[in-house]
Structure 1
Amino acid sequence: MTDVIGEILPLALGVAISPIPVIAAILMLLSPKAKGTSLGFLVGWVLGIVVAVVLFTLLSSVLPQDGADESQPIAGTIKIVLGVLLLLLAVKQWRSRPTGDEEAALPKWMAAIDTMTAGRALVLGFLLSGLNPKNLLMGAAAGVVIGSAGLSAGQSAGAILVYTAIAASTVAIPVIAYLAASARMAAPLRALHTWLVHNNATVMAVLLLVIGVAVIGKGIGSF
């Protein structure tokens, strides 16, 4: 199981280091309805992560299982395809990065965060974590790793729990910290928001490149 945990850790970090949902969470924490929207967003974010990784774990578990030392061409091919898709996303992110003093383009829905309800925040969190192409690829790759490893149900659940905890941490930590000490967290959150807005595309491009290469390498190693 430790090998599986080691393989899914970079994928979980790939979801965790996602500037857009962190920016959204920060904006919610600085909005008039901070408590309701931020908690709703966090619940939706966690739910989307869990649904994606569980779905692909179940799908991968029906693949033909070989011995631990034998090749796994089907799982390896899937990993290579997922890795290539991550590299393509890295190129797209790099091309979209702002240059010089250019303002980074943010999704238009962020302008409506101040008037967002807890229910809409939950749906938004689910969509950003479970249906976002980048996060969906990460969840698919993690699910393939877990589902094709021949783990018991308990071990698979443990691996999914570890993946979810790490993937959700960057949204969960500021939400929990702000709710615990809102007065102290306002200024640091604004500073973090400014940095993430300007460096969003660059951070994601580098991250997707590294993880895409790693996933392709693991796929090649499965043959």
Structure 2
Amino acid sequence: MGHVLGDVLGVAAAVAVSPLPIIAVILILATPRGRLNGVLFTFGWILGLSALGAVMLVIASPAGASSHGHPAAWAGALKLALGLFLLLFGARRWHRRPKDPSQARLPKWMGAIDRLTPVKVFALGLALAALNAKNAPLTIAAGATIGSAGLPVGQEIASLAVFVVIATCGLLAPLAVFLLGGERAKATLGDWKEWAAQHNVAVMAVLFFVLGLKLFGDGISILVS
């Protein structure tokens, strides 16, 4: 189990530093129902990651590992494809980044966050976890890594749980600041939001490229071993 956690912890950390979900939860916390909606958004995020990871475990576990104890060839092919996707998407994001960070614009849907009902806030967290162009491939890769390692079911579930907890730290940090930070919380979260908004595209592009390169390399290593 230890070597599997070593493989997925880096991926989980990359999911955790996703700028858009962090900006979204900060905006949600600033609404009149911020305390409730912030918690619901985080639960939606956790459910989205858990559900997508669990689906991959169900798909991957029957295939298991190869006869030599290595991940199956299909896992290598999947990582190769996901790595290539992230590399191309990262290059595209970098090419389209604003030359002046102060000119960066947030997605239009963020302007309607203060009008979302609790149910829609929960659904937003679910979607940003399971359908996001970066988080979904990384969660799929993590699930495939865990599922193809030939671990007992209990260790598979425990490994997925560790992945989800680490991947949620990016949302738990602003939520903790809001709940425990008192009067200084708004100023602190405001500074975080401004930085994330200005550097969102560049941060995402670099993450796409680095993680895409890692998954691409992992895929090649599995296929040629």
TM-score, shorter chain, exceeding 0.5: yes
Q: TM-score, length-normalised on structure 1?
A: 0.94
Which secondary structure state, in structure 1, belongs to the residue aligned with residue 62 of structure 2?
A: coil
How do 1:36-185 residues align onto structure 2 when only pairs under 5 Å count? Answer: 36-63=36-63, 65-70=65-70, 72-100=72-100, 103-185=103-185
Aligned counterparts of 1:71 and 1:46: Cα–Cα separation in 2:
27
Structure 1's unaligned 5+ residue stretches are none
More moved, 104-113 vs 159-168: 104-113
Aligned counterparts of 1:104 and 1:90: Cα–Cα separation in 2:
17
More moved, 35-44 vs 71-80: 71-80
Deviations 1:138-163 (A, max 9, x none): 11100110010000011101110110
Aligned counterparts of 1:35 and 1:121: Cα–Cα separation in 2:
12
Structure 2's unaligned 5+ residue stretches are none
**How far did 1:117 drift?**
2.1
The alpha-carbon distance between structure 1 residues 154 and 115, as it changes in their structure 2 partners (threshold 3 A), is same
Which secondary structure state, in structure 2, belongs to the residue aligned with residue 166 of structure 1?
A: helix
User: Are the counterparts in 2 of residues 83 and 214 from structure 1 also a CA contact under 8 Å?
Assistant: yes
User: Are the counterparts in 2 of residues 82 and 212 from structure 1 also a CA contact under 8 Å?
Assistant: yes
* Residue identity in the other structure for 2:16: A
* Residue identity in the other structure for 1:93: R
Aligned counterparts of 2:124 and 2:46: Cα–Cα separation in 1:
11
User: Are the counterparts in 2 of residues 14 and 208 from structure 1 also a CA contact under 8 Å?
Assistant: no
User: Are the counterparts in 2 of residues 14 and 207 from structure 1 also a CA contact under 8 Å?
Assistant: yes
User: Are the counterparts in 2 of residues 36 and 117 from structure 1 also a CA contact under 8 Å?
Assistant: no
Aligned counterparts of 1:71 and 1:121: Cα–Cα separation in 2:
38
User: Are the counterparts in 2 of residues 29 and 178 from structure 1 also a CA contact under 8 Å?
Assistant: yes
Aligned counterparts of 1:53 and 1:116: Cα–Cα separation in 2:
27
* Percent of pairs with identical residues: 36
**How far did 1:29 drift?**
1.3
The alpha-carbon distance between structure 1 residues 101 and 79, as it changes in their structure 2 partners (threshold 3 A), is closer
1:193 aligns to what? Answer: 193
Deviations 1:75-133 (A, max 9, x none): 11111011111112211221231112652121111111122222111000000101112
Aligned counterparts of 1:101 and 1:78: Cα–Cα separation in 2:
35
Aligned counterparts of 2:178 and 2:188: Cα–Cα separation in 1:
10
* Residue identity in the other structure for 1:97: R
User: Are the counterparts in 1 of residues 63 and 72 from structure 2 also a CA contact under 8 Å?
Assistant: no
Aligned counterparts of 2:150 and 2:78: Cα–Cα separation in 1:
17
Deviations 1:28-68 (A, max 9, x none): 11222211211111111111111111111211112253234
The alpha-carbon distance between structure 1 residues 7 and 51, as it changes in their structure 2 partners (threshold 3 A), is same
Q: How many correspondences in the alignment?
A: 223
